[in-house]
Amino acid sequence: MSSLHLPLIHLDAELVAIDKPPGLLVHPSQLDAHEQVTAVQLLRAQLDAPVWPLHRLDKATSGVLLFGRSVEVARTWGRAFEAGRVRKRYLALVRGWPAEIGCTQQPLARDPERPSAGQPHLPACTRWRRLACFEWPFQVDARHASSRYALVEVEPTTGRRHQIRRHFKQLGHPLVGDSTHGKGAHNRAVARWLGHSRLWLHALALEWTDGPRPLRLAAPCGPEWQGLLPAGAATHNLPPMPDLPTDSPRCCDTSPSP
């Protein structure tokens, strides 16, 4: 992967964004100390200039990844991400059929790699909208002759590590292809059915519309997603996520902080 040319989806004097392929670390990590190639390293070589990652994507996640081209830009955007001003939208394939729309605000332990007992738990909030339901004719659970999955659009309004993956596990709808928080039998069965093995999580779009310079970025899904996508999703033209029903907890206010 050291010769990989990263696809650019935005480039100007201050910012650069790539469509990160799955399987690529953003920056060096002690958890993957054997990995010698990172997105930061590749992009610096590709541009022959320094860059600073402005947010995180898990190694197995694909999609929009934004970098600053100066320390000042990185600082400004870093504060915006921390304040929740930058909206991020993902597509995910999950087990089962979750509610059509919903929101969870279950606090998450700071470090997902360690036992949660004794750790501080941080506020975390994730909204979702179900886009499509599937019932595929293969058996994973002995109780059922077929297996159910759903495509969801997800908007995390906080940025905890593995937030989407952990929240959907808590909801009983773990992401397909998640070797840490999912179930291997389902991961293998879907990989055979779709002919592709991956974590089914893609960072579809990112936007900061009330910043000093409004920006909207999007990364189209790879070809492995095409058979799953409803109209509009493939070209990131989904309508705005609807409000929750009035009897649902208003846990995910996405309005910018003052």
Give every CB contact of residue 252 below 8 A, 6+ residues apart in sequence: 103, 105, 125, 126, 127, 155, 157, 244
Task: 119-123: list long-range contacts, CB under 8 Å, 24+ apart.
Answer: 122/158, 122/160, 123/158
178 is catalytic: no
User: Taking the CB of residue 17, how many other CB atoms lie within 10 A of it?
Assistant: 21
Q: Which of 58, 141, 178, 253 is catalytic?
A: 58
Encoded tokens for 232: 């509009």
User: Taking the CB of residue 96, how many other CB atoms lie within 10 A of it?
Assistant: 15
Give every CB contact of residue 243 below 8 A, 6+ residues apart in sequence: none
Point out which residues pair with 132 in neighbouring strands: 151
Rounded-to-integer distance, Cα 250 and Cα 157, Å: 12
Rounded-to-integer distance, Cα 83 and Cα 6, Å: 29
Encoded tokens for 137: 């004719």
Cα–Cα distances in Å, from 94 out to 127, 176, 206, 210? 14, 5, 21, 32
Encoded tokens for 69: 């081209």
Rounded-to-integer distance, Cα 159 and Cα 119, Å: 17
Q: Which residues are catalytic?
A: 58
